[in-house]
Amino acid sequence: MLTQGNATIKPVYGGGKGFGHKAFKNFKIQLANPYQLAILLLFNERDHWTAPELEAQLMIDTATLKKYVDSLWRPQIKVLKARSVDKSVKDPPFADLTFEVNKNLPKESTKKGKALPKLRYDMGKEDIGAVASSVDQAVQEERKFAIDAAIVRTMKAGKTCKISTLIPEVCKQLSFLFVAHPPFVRKRMEELVDKAFMERDDQDPTLLRYIA
């Protein structure tokens, strides 16, 4: 199913000055969802696609398509660029947008003249504030430390763990104390990755490795 799994691609674009350049020998783009890949593959057929055309090609509704397309054209380094026929409209509706490949992507995928090792395009996350709005801030802080401890404990015991396994396991461990919302657990997990308590596997970004 296109709603499950992820994809890693090695792009080829722009000849000698694009991703075909030797500087990008090991460069790759990591996608969090196969729908992102399906969207990008369509640009092998045509340079431009409107939102309604993408919707028809992928046979999904507008709201579902939007979250996948947004993940590719809203980050700081964009895979896709969007434009509206009427440039006078500041914030055009999604249905009025036309998308194309970001021709400057090879140039933007460098830092200080060196090619980045990879780009990762994640899906937007659920609004954590909405989930936790009814919880007192002091209690939330206490829960944060409990969740961090459970994540580290689980990773230390197994050394490696899939994200799809880790989050439910942590929620289960904490169920006798409080209801741990999966989006908040994921946020804590991402912060622990940033703090180098664990890292994503280079070959499989859904697999975490504990750092002793």
Q: What is the pLDDT of residues 94-119, one digit of tens each?
A: 889 999 999 899 989 988 878 889 99
What are the distances in angstroms from CA 183 to CA 3, 168, 186, 189, 197? 18, 11, 5, 10, 19
CA distance 35 to 2: 6
Distance CA 144, CA 137 (A): 10
Quote the CA–CA distance of 55 and 67 in Å, as a whole number.
12
Give the pLDDT score at 170: 92
* 14-40 pLDDT tens trace: 555 688 788 888 889 999 888 999 999
Q: Is the pLDDT reported for residue 127 higher than 80?
A: no
Domain ranges of the chain: 7-121, 128-210
Q: Going by C-beta distance under 8 Å and a sequence separation of 6 or more, which residues neighbour residue 185?
A: 147, 151, 167, 170, 171
Averaged pLDDT of the chain: 85
Q: Indicate whether 208 pLDDT > 60.
A: yes
Architecture of domain 128-210: Orthogonal Bundle (1.10)
- 7-121 classified as CATH 3.30.230.130: yes
The whole model's pTM is what?
Answer: 0.58
pLDDT band at 205 (very low <50, low <70, confident <90, very high): confident
